[in-house]
């Protein structure tokens, strides 16, 4: 399902970005960064946050000890993943 029509981002794109990100994305701005784009109108931000929370599961509020994201969030922020960069239309 297309979540952001401005940038043509699907729910699967968001879930994949959350799973692949070295630093744990927790909001729409961070997801846009992972996907190599930026917010346009902002109408999708609430839906993106909901999908992030679903994708993170128990980690949505805060990571627990031993969680794979705890170690990743302590590392420096990585550059956006090339595989998530959107092609210009």
Phi-psi region of 12 (alpha: psi -120 to 50; beta: other; left: phi over 0): alpha
Tens digit of pLDDT for each residue in 17-56? Answer: 988 877 778 889 999 999 999 999 999 999 999 999 998 8
Question: How many residues does this entry show for the chain?
Answer: 89
Report the predicted TM-score, pTM, of the whole model to 2 decimal places.
0.64
Given a contact cutoff of 8 angstroms between Cβ atoms, the answer to whether 40 and 7 are in contact is yes
Retrieve residue 47's tokens: 């839906």
Q: Which of 83, 89, 88, 87 is nearest to 34 (CA)?
A: 83
The Cα 5–Cα 35 span in angstroms is: 14
Q: Looking at residue 25, what is its pLDDT?
A: 83
Q: Looking at residue 61, what is its pLDDT?
A: 59
The Cα 11–Cα 41 span in angstroms is: 17
Q: How remote is the C-alpha of 38 from its chain's centroid?
A: 12
């Amino acid at each position: 399902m297309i979540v952001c029509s401005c940038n043509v981002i699907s729910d699967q794109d968001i879930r994949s970005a959350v799973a692949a990100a070295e630093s744990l994305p927790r909001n729409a701005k961070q997801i846009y960064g992972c996907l190599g784009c930026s917010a346009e109108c902002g109408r999708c931000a609430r839906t993106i946050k909901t999908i992030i929370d679903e994708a993170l599961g128990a980690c949505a509020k805060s990571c627990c000890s031993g969680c794979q994201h705890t170690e990743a969030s302590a590392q420096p922020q990585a550059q956006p993943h090339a595989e998530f960069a959107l092609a210009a239309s």
